[in-house]
């Protein structure tokens, strides 16, 4: 169901009325299209806490945005055409990795205070932080302080602009992450803290236009909804996509597969031998495994029969554990492989009526955090999760109007996300250049007010 409130606030009378009544004023978000693949405007590169050891400039230059660097109040264009002038930046990257104490933390304020107002609508603020130093509690304190800073700025910045924190120690290892966050693909990702580890580069050069060319991706529950969008986005990025869904959805799965030039696999993912059946279907192995299939069977715990509990735990968690174990044990995931599971903010924040669902989705986050280092060390495979917030799907269209409206507005962007927002985040995690992103649970929720 269309978000009529969002359309209304895009009109002049709508803007006037909602401003007078103090109601939320969501901005229409700019999302990726083939015609407009980048943000429009320049990127302002700022530093706080002194020069960092990061070799950031070449990586930022490769985002395609003309870069301006600010030192002591002067702005100089470093790449591309005109970068200054009356229009504000489309993106600001603040390198705060050198911030080690409360005095230098003040440079974060000094750097962003004068420019935040001028950041373009649907623009990006990305703060770069260092890993917390366990031997220096002053450094750890102020680097942790950046999280509270970023999450607070995300809640006040408005106009469809997003604010995220990336913790890194190597700029080139973070290239896919910075490209994602500094593009329209991350329109609904805000208030996130993303850890990027050491470089785990792909063997060959990266094709940034068709990164998944020659790779096979399997998406569970891809006959409709978010899974369909994920399949479509991975196919856009060049993957051969296997659309897996239950027998009842076989016709839709075949339709999606045919549209994307992929193949369909009819299988209930809860089958005890699901992993073996997938491996048999793909004798050459696979590169990307997306655990998207999920169900809800809501009831408060006092009214919840055991069957509702077990069916949700089986689809959302047990089958994810079983198929992951089986495919890793068989060596079916090729080196450089990617596993992306689907959690939910309901698993992070909890939700009345969803003890089963919340437990299953929190379980997904636990699986990711525990398995990620071992899967990378033993199989060369990363394991991450996306945690969607309120996404406009058939599922959420069926939610009663009042609850649906609350779900849509209770986030910093004051609107629901689209399936493609989850899909773009998944595609970034599945990217061959994202090998240094591992064990992360990334919320795609417009910075929902619920949960951490």
Residues near ligand NAD, by CB under 6 A: 220-221, 223-227, 245-246, 249, 268-270, 292-295, 315, 342, 344, 388, 390-391, 393-396
Residue 124 or residue 291: which is nearer to ligand NAD going by CB?
291
Closest approach of Cβ 335 to ligand NAD, in Å?
27
CB 345 within 8 A of CB 451: yes
Residue 96 or residue 444: which is nearer to ligand NAD going by CB?
444
Closest approach of Cβ 273 to ligand NAD, in Å?
13
- 31-38 long-range contacts (CB < 8 A, ≥24 apart) are 31/184, 31/185, 31/187, 31/418, 31/420, 31/421, 32/183, 32/184, 32/185, 32/187, 32/420, 32/424, 33/184, 36/184, 37/183, 37/184, 38/63, 38/64, 38/65, 38/183, 38/184
Phi-psi label, residue 390: left if phi above 0, alpha if psi -120 to 50, beta otherwise = beta
Give the whole-angstrom CA distance, residue 386 versus residue 205.
Answer: 27
Residue 121 or residue 313: which is nearer to ligand NAD going by CB?
313
DSSP 258: H
Helical axes 355-379 vs 319-329, angle rounded to 10°: 10
Give the whole-angstrom CA distance, residue 414 versus residue 115.
Answer: 23
Closest approach of Cβ 128 to ligand NAD, in Å?
28
Cross-strand pairs, 127 = 94, 165
357: annotated active-site residue: yes
Closest approach of Cβ 249 to ligand NAD, in Å?
4
Residue 67 or residue 344: which is nearer to ligand NAD going by CB?
344
Residue 67 or residue 448: which is nearer to ligand NAD going by CB?
448
Closest approach of Cβ 401 to ligand NAD, in Å?
16
Radius of gyration of the chain (CA): 22
**Cβ-Cβ contacts under 8 Å for 134 (sequence gap 6 or more):** 140
Closest approach of Cβ 35 to ligand NAD, in Å?
27
CB 215 within 8 A of CB 189: no
| Residue 373, Cβ density class (10 Å: 0-12 exposed, 13-18 middle, ≥19 buried) | middle
Residue of 5, 309, 357, 390 marked catalytic: 357
Residue 184 or residue 227: which is nearer to ligand NAD going by CB?
227
The residues that are catalytic are 357
């Amino acid at each position: 169901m269309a978000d009529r409130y969002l359309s209304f606030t895009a009109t002049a009378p709508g803007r006037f009325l909602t401003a007078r009544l103090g109601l939320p004023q969501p901005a229409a978000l700019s999302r990726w299209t083939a015609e407009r693949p980048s943000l429009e405007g320049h990127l302002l590169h700022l530093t706080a806490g002194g020069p960092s050891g990061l070799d950031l400039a070449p990586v930022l230059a490769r985002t395609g945005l003309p870069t301006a660097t600010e030192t002591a109040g002067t702005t100089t264009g470093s790449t591309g055409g005109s970068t200054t002038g009356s229009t504000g930046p489309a993106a600001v990257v603040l390198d705060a990795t050198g911030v080690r104490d409360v005095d230098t933390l003040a440079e974060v304020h000094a750097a962003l205070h004068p420019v935040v107002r001028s950041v373009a609508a649907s623009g990006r603020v990305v703060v770069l932080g260092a890993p917390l130093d366990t031997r220096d509690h002053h450094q750890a304190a102020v680097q942790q302080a950046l999280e509270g800073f970023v999450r607070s700025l995300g809640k006040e910045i408005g106009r469809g602009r997003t604010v995220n924190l990336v913790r890194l120690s190597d700029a080139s290892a973070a290239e896919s992450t910075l490209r994602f966050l500094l593009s329209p693909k991350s329109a609904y990702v805000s208030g996130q803290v993303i850890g990027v580890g050491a470089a785990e580069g792909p063997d060959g050069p990266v094709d940034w236009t068709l990164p998944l060319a020659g790779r096979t991706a399997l998406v569970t529950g891809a006959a409709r909804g978010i899974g369909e969008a994920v399949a479509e986005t991975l196919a856009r990025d060049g993957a051969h996509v296997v659309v897996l869904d239950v027998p009842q959805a076989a016709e839709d799965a075949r339709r999606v597969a045919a549209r994307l030039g992929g193949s369909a696999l009819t299988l209930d993912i809860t089958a005890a031998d699901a992993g073996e059946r997938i491996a048999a279907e793909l004798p050459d192995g696979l590169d990307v495994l997306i655990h998207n299939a999920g169900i809800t069977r809501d009831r408060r715990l006092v009214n919840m029969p055991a069957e509702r509990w077990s069916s949700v735990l089986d689809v959302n968690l047990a089958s994810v554990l079983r198929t992951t174990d089986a495919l890793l044990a068989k060596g079916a995931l090729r080196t450089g492989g990617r596993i992306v599971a689907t959690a939910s903010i309901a698993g992070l924040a909890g939700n009345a009526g969803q003890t089963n669902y919340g437990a299953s989705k929190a379980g997904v986050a636990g699986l990711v955090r525990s398995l990620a280092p071992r899967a990378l060390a033993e199989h060369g495979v990363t394991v991450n999760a996306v945690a969607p917030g309120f996404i406009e799907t058939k599922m959420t269209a069926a939610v009663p109007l009042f609850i649906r409206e609350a779900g849509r507005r209770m986030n910093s962007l004051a609107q629901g996300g689209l399936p493609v927002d989850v899909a773009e985040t998944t595609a970034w995690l599945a990217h061959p250049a994202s090998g240094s992103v591992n064990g992360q649970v990334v919320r795609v929720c417009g910075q929902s007010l619920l949960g951490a």
